[in-house]
Amino acid sequence: MFHGGMFISRNALSRPMACVVAVCLLTQVIEAAGEWVEVEKRGVVDVRSEFSMSQTEWDNLFRELGGLQSDLERLLHLTPSSQTIEINLFRTKSSYQEFLRSRVPEGVNRKALYVPGTDRGRVYVYRHWGYETDLRHEFTHALLHSSLPFVPMWLDEGFAEYFEVQANQRSQHNPHLGELKRRLLFGWGPNLAKLEDKSDLSQMDAADYRECWAWVHFMMHGPDEVRQVLADYLHNVEQGNPAGQLGDHLRESIDLDTQLLRHLRQWK
């Protein structure tokens, strides 16, 4: 067992050697994150947790994830995938960041993270007040990417925002709706083309996430022809047929911006 102070205090170590030991010790600090207390796999979901949970909590967690998976497959007509989704739950924010620093450094400043992989999708979330919202958000990304070969970022984030709340808040009482209605009074207007041009997460701000949610809400609860356009698009993407751009299909079917604004104004 290494003990930091002991080695560093030895005069026998030369300066370069002390540096090597410091690196080693820091590596150990980094590796300390991700010491899973409990691991459980049910179906395609493989959960690793840094904190212990009671059997009831495990059951509730898998029930919540299973419910979300069923809803996504049912509402979007997705074929269930056999790809494993790995969920990593961290005890604290610092532990979460320590773990990511050595594996996904670009994600350290994100509150929660989904990393697609060819073998499995990986979700990283740390425990805090309301962390289940983060978990639903990232799990939605994981489910979409395990069933579809690609998902445009604006649609991906829109679905994640839509499904991150509890099921009874998806259609109504979503915090985004009230905020959008208030902004409508001050002349806010949508711009789907701008969202479609964004391909990097760093280009997205709070207003973009809100607008992504608005488009998905519109496609899930709006006019029949719009819902059909979304269904056809997802079917084509899943089947490997040329799907084109979803925005183009939507524009062909209706007067898009006007219909979205009407939808938001009228939705209670």
Partner 1 sequence: MFRFKFALTLATVAAMFMVAAPQMLAQERMSNLDLTRDVALDASGVLNGQVVDSQGKPLDGAMVAVFQSEKQLKRVTSDETGRFQVAGLRNGLYTLEVAGNEYPVRLWNAQVAPPSAKAGATLVFGEPSARGQFGFLDPVNTSLLLLGVTGVTLSAVSLNEVNQLDKRIDANRDAINQNQNTLILNQNSLIQNQNSLDQLDVKVNTLLQSN
Residue 89, strand partner residues: 49, 125
Q: Kindly report the backbone phi and psi dihedral angles of residue 117, in degrees, each rounded to the nearest multiple of 5, phi listed first.
A: -145, 160
Indicate the helix (H) or strand (E) that contains 48. strand 45-49
- Contact between 241 and partner 1 by CB under 8 A: the answer reads yes
- Of 1, 39, 224, 240, the one binding partner 1 (CB under 8 A) is 240
Nearer to partner 1, 224 or 268 (CB): 268
Q: Which of residues 9-38 bind partner 1 (CB under 8 A)?
A: 12-14, 16-31
Q: Which of 90, 76, 91, 93 is nearest to 238 (CA)?
A: 76
DSSP-derived 3-state class of residue 129: coil
Q: How far is the CB of 75 from partner 1 (least distance, A)?
A: 20
Q: How far is the CB of 241 from partner 1 (least distance, A)?
A: 6
Can you tell me the distance from the alpha carbon of 8 to that of 15, in angstroms, rounded to the nearest whole number?
A: 10
Stretch that binds partner 1, among 59-67, 68-76, 138-146, 251-259 (CB under 8 A): 138-146
Per-residue b/e over 56-88, b at no fewer than 16 CB within 10 Å? eebeebbebbeebbeebeeebebeebebbbbbb
Six token digits for residue 41: 């796999």
For residue 136, the one-letter residue type is: R
- Contact between 168 and partner 1 by CB under 8 A: the answer reads no
- Contact between 129 and partner 1 by CB under 8 A: the answer reads yes
Stretch that binds partner 1, among 52-60, 66-74, 150-158, 212-220 (CB under 8 A): 150-158
Q: Which of residues 180-219 bind partner 1 (CB under 8 A)?
A: 181-182, 184-185, 196, 199-201, 206, 209
- Of 33, 78, 153, 165, the one binding partner 1 (CB under 8 A) is 153
Q: How far is the CB of 236 from partner 1 (least distance, A)?
A: 9
Count of other CB atoms within 10 angstroms of residue 117: 11
Q: Which of 262, 245, 231 is nearest to 78 (CA)?
A: 231
What x/- string results for residues 51 through 80 when contact with partner 1 is judged by CB under 8 A?
Answer: ----------------------------x-
Q: Which of residues 85-114 bind partner 1 (CB under 8 A)?
A: 92-94, 97-98, 101-114
Q: How far is the CB of 96 from partner 1 (least distance, A)?
A: 11
Residue with tokens 């985004």: 176
